[in-house]
Amino acid sequence: MSSNQVQLLSKIATGDGHGENSPYFDGWKAYENDPFHPTKNLHGVIQMGLAENQLSFDVIQEWVMSNPKASICTLEGVRNFSDIANFQDYHGLPEFRNAVAKFMARTRGNRVRFDPDRIVMSGGATGAHEVTAFCLADPGDAFLVPTPYYPGFDRDLRWRTGVQLVPIICESSNNFKVTEKALEAAFEKARKDNIRVKGVLITNPSNPLGTIMDRETLRTIVRFVNEKSIHLICDEIYAATVFSKPDFTSIAEIIEEDNIDCNRDLIHIVYSLSKDMGLPGFRVGIIYSYNDAVVNCARKMSSFGLVSSQTQHLIASMLSDDEFVERFLAESAKRLAKRYRVFTRGLSQVGINCLKSNAGLFLWMDLRSLLKSQTFEAEMALWRVIINQVKINVSPGSSFHCSEPGWFRVCNANMDDRAVEIALTRIRNFVLQNMEGKAPVKKQCWQSNLRLSFSSRMLDDITMSPHSPIPHSPLVKATT
């Protein structure tokens, strides 16, 4: 860009706050150049960096087909076309808000209820985070965020708002749990740096860990924010991806406990249907705040990112169908559990462990033993080898601000069983090759079938998905 152009455009337009120039995005390009296909490109790159839930699409599709009235572009539903196409109220369709509130309660075990009047729409959780940050903080203010965290937060909360994120350093020694000590240390660090802390942002269940927060940890965080008089934003967009015990506990349950003293004006939930229902393209995001002023302001701001009325209409019908919701949630959890089992078993055959988890669309894989040294440089070197030689696109821990090198996030719900087997075979083979000279591992029968392709291309990662700067190739979409 010439200096002339720089002067013509705003700081946001000319800055790199979006993060698209990070090396991780280079991989997008390489992946797009060489996408795996089970018949047309068997040796292509397998996409394991996308936190998409594609395992239960058939259940949703079936419902759509048996409920043509729910779509306004069908013979059965077209009678509602003009009403819905005209609708533009930023409060949203009442039936949409009712259905989402009910679904949020259902995905939290019906142990809490949500007030439809507090449901504010946004363009996905992405939009919800930005709107929440705009409502709670001024440029230069900060939110404390436990590490490792979803890299998109660096864009969603910071880019256009001018807000900062300060890490709450969590460690593998206690399975990356958030402790009071870590909260205090982050707060103190910000204070020393003259940064005003406006809140804590947690993701429960966690992306990238796939773990859920226990009640005691949630209570600790609620006590902390109350003591400091700062906000708590809880990203609960993976609430219904919990596939085994223990059950998920929402912050909504904690603040209703008798023994907790909480100023509810400080509590805000971000939700979306992108992960739980596997509908990221619908851009259904929700801000649920217990603070009236935030609900008010967020609703006004939602004009910049409404959910289309057509989508609201469809989702309202779908989520009002109790029988469907029960079936979908049960089936989705069953399939996610199976994926988790297949993956963890496959990796354990070559001694690779993952953090024990029971939620999410990914695994937090421990490859510390494969690092040449325990440094982030070594992690990047290993990551490039994995992309270029193993040809799977996983995401290095450093992109999640993990404080320890050697961890990688592996998405496992955005592909079919065949791709899973091939990916596992590639990983196991790679690990075995790297173990040569270390402890002997019995050669497996699948090894002989494997041929690694070496590529000189710079490949990548896509940890900031869901909004790739590069369009998905239809080929990739069709196969993963």
Told to check if 205 binds ligand PLP by CB under 6 A, we report no
The residue range among 20-28, 55-63, 119-127, 328-336 that interacts with ligand PLP, by the rule CB under 6 A, is 119-127
What does each C-alpha distance from 249 to 203, 213, 218, 372 come to in angstroms?
12, 7, 9, 39
- Choosing from 46, 72, 212, 237, the catalytic residue is 237
Could you confirm whether 237 is annotated as catalytic? yes
Q: What are phi and psi of 17, to 5 degrees?
A: -60, -20
Place of tokens 């039936």: 95
Residues 391-450 that bind ligand PLP (CB under 6 A): none
N-terminal to C-terminal alpha carbon distance within the chain? 36
The correct pick among 53, 203, 217, 399 for binding ligand PLP (CB under 6 A) is: 203
The correct pick among 207, 241, 250, 311 for binding ligand PLP (CB under 6 A) is: 207
Residues 279-318 that bind ligand PLP (CB under 6 A): 280, 285
- Choosing from 24, 149, 150, 340, the catalytic residue is 150
Using CB atoms, what's the residue nearest to ligand PLP? 124
The identity of residue 327, as a single letter, is R
* DSSP summary character for residue 41: B
Q: What are phi and psi of 366, to 5 degrees?
A: -95, 105
Which H helix or E strand runs over 296? helix 292-301
Could you tell me the smallest distance in angstroms from the CB atom of residue 206 to ligand PLP? 8
Could you confirm whether 372 is annotated as catalytic? no
Told to check if 466 binds ligand PLP by CB under 6 A, we report yes
Could you confirm whether 90 is annotated as catalytic? no
Structure-block tokens of residue 108: 């939290």
Q: What are phi and psi of 27, to 5 degrees?
A: -65, -35
Name every residue whose Cβ is closer than 8 Å to that of residue 89 and which is 6 or more positions away in sequence.
none
Q: Which is nearer to ligand PLP, 71 or 274 (CB)?
A: 274
Spatial CA neighbour of 217 closest among 264, 176, 186, 171: 176
Could you tell me the smallest distance in angstroms from the CB atom of residue 152 to ligand PLP? 6
Could you tell me the smallest distance in angstroms from the CB atom of residue 151 to ligand PLP? 9
Range list of β-strands (E), 294-380: 353-354, 362-366
Could you confirm whether 214 is annotated as catalytic? no
Residues 125-154 that bind ligand PLP (CB under 6 A): 125-126, 150, 152
What does each C-alpha distance from 382 to 43, 249, 348 come to in angstroms?
19, 36, 19
Interface with ligand PLP (CB under 6 A)? 51, 124-126, 150, 152, 203, 207, 235, 237, 272, 274, 280, 285, 466
Active site residues: 150, 235, 237, 275
